[in-house]
Structure 1
Amino acid sequence: MNPTRRSVLAGLATLAVMPAVAACGSDQPGSATPSTPAPEGAEEGAFPVTIAHKFGETTLETAPERVVCVGLTDQDTLLALGIVPVGVSYWFGEKSKRGIYSWAEEAFGDAEPPTLLMNTNGVEIEQVAALQPDLIIGQYAGLTEKEYELLSKIAPTVAQSGDYADYGTPWDEAALTIGTAVGRPAATQKLIDGVKERIVAEAKAHPEFAGQTAAVVTPYEGLFIYGPEDPRSRLLVELGFDLPPIITDATDSEFGISLSAERTSDLAAVGAVVWLDLDADKQVRTVFEGTTAHEQGRWFDITNADGDYYVAHSFVTPLSIPYVLDRYVPQLAAAADGDPATEVPSADEAARG
């Protein structure tokens, strides 16, 4: 069974946010209408520019000053370029952070926090219009054609790529599209190149990853295994791992596949199993505890207790990737070393080196 990406992402967000809602308190930002700092200026020759996407093409004549992100992670690239959006779409994590997490705080500075759009059941069209954007961007997104048409009546809208499944555009292509839309393609490419150099360096430092399989999985209506077009799976591949046949041999599995809880035993042969919220389903946990992957320590679990790391692992953006690698690579190395005695470090321990 292969559910839609929007339904899975919404379902996982609900699981993730429940503990975080209680943590939101007096640090909730004010409700003043946000404004974005004036852009430093577009690169020479950046406009006009026409960008192709799933629903056609969008032409931008000048550099936008009020950007609304209807993609779930698009704000990171904008922040890295010095642009604070006036609206961002909530996915999961602490709502009080308004989509600005620790890995992006330096880039954000002391700007006015953006308005948080609750797009779980579709884009809040009226709220987007109220922000008076001159660009609406949705790259890590699953905009429908109707949503695109409505948004396009508000402002130029750049939807997700039509070359991939929804929520499946590679992080570098999504970032470059965002950078092109705001007139800074060269700066964005430089940003992308720097992050890719870091990923390549990590892969070279861990040649043991090559030839091993790894997968990101979560208990969701049984067991959900993320597919080859999911950003989390792509990062594993960029680090040198292969995805296991259980997902690569499946049909219509670009985003991932759902299996019954009993099928958790199929993970026994996976080299490194990256769990998200393993304890969310007792049956899945019990079955996995009986596998050789569990017995040999070839796994670790990332949960809401890991704070921003939990969110960053799913964001997969130019800003979040370096933050993740500091924690993720030591965990992967410990899980994939073949020695049951090796204890996988916590995210905090990994970050401290």
Structure 2
Amino acid sequence: MHVTHLSLADFRSYARAEVALGPGVSTFIGPNGQGKTNLVEAVGYLATLGSHRVSSDAPLVRMGADRALVRAAVTEGGRQQLVEIEVNPGRANRARLNRSAQVRPRDVLGVVRTVLFAPEDLHLVKGDPGERRRFLDELITARVPRLAGVRADYERVLKQRNALLKSAAMARRHGGRGVDLSTLDVWDQHVARSGAELLAQRLSLVEALRPLADKAYDQVAPGGGPVGLDYRGVAEGAVPREELYGLLLGALGEARAQEIERGVTLVGPHRDDLVLRLGELPAKGYASHGESWSLALALRLASYELLKAEGPEPVLVLDDVFAELDAQRRERLAELVAPGEQVLVTAAVPQDVPMALMGARFTVAGGSVDRE
């Protein structure tokens, strides 16, 4: 899979941008603040319907505009497709696939698949559990795009259950009339049903990633492992899929009194974590800066190998990564990703990009993207 053309309108710093791309390596060079990352962020947005830099869509729209447009022509196995997302902050985004408007944004997931390496990846190791949950869930959707619906269903019913719990907690604190909680059993069932499907996918993914991450870490930092990945939550390890619904339902029942007191759902996939280990110790709090970087890179490399084995090879995006690495890790990473069908690299100066990633070069400055 590779992107052959990227079109932007009112996206980030670009009033308009038209960039022709090809297979192999394309490198975008320019000083910070000129829009290099905006280009690869747009490709990633088509793949995930989200940004790796911000949590909302508003910053993606150029100042003074009310919407942004991201369009890409994609080639995969001889088949060409045109995918387009109209970003409308505060309103529903719109999507087109091969110029048809009769699709939802999540229906275009899978047309573009990416694996992104970025400085923000350090949060996968050092950050809060939410960073690791997001990593798992985005990879789940990349593997099986229809599971975006499962994620959406879980978030929807969780929000509604939380609203009921919050009302009950506020009524108790202020001595008002009690809130009718007769529907809580129904919401428990909804949360357990969609949560069990999401949990099953996460557990399966962790099992598939574990050997790949260990191998990738040894490639980036030879002799520094082994790497461990452990899922922590209501269900851990090899739990049969058919038991997950009952486990979640039981956990919700046990936590009910505390949840009514606090006004929030305390158990479920939204509270779980992926524990990363180096040797016998958890990486968070024990790994050095270099080890943390190597582990973050290993997770991305493992994701790439998994997606490549199961479907179209994803586009590899390396956003200002090499400036963060020492010379040895730069060379190793470059050698590992260079064979990819399409590799998009951003860097402030050409010297940051290893020789193994010589390819098409673009200069980014003053709102323009010019091929050298």
TM-score by length of 1: 0.27
TM-score by length of 2: 0.26
Structure label with greater radius of gyration: 2
Higher relative contact order (CA 8 A, sep 6+): 2
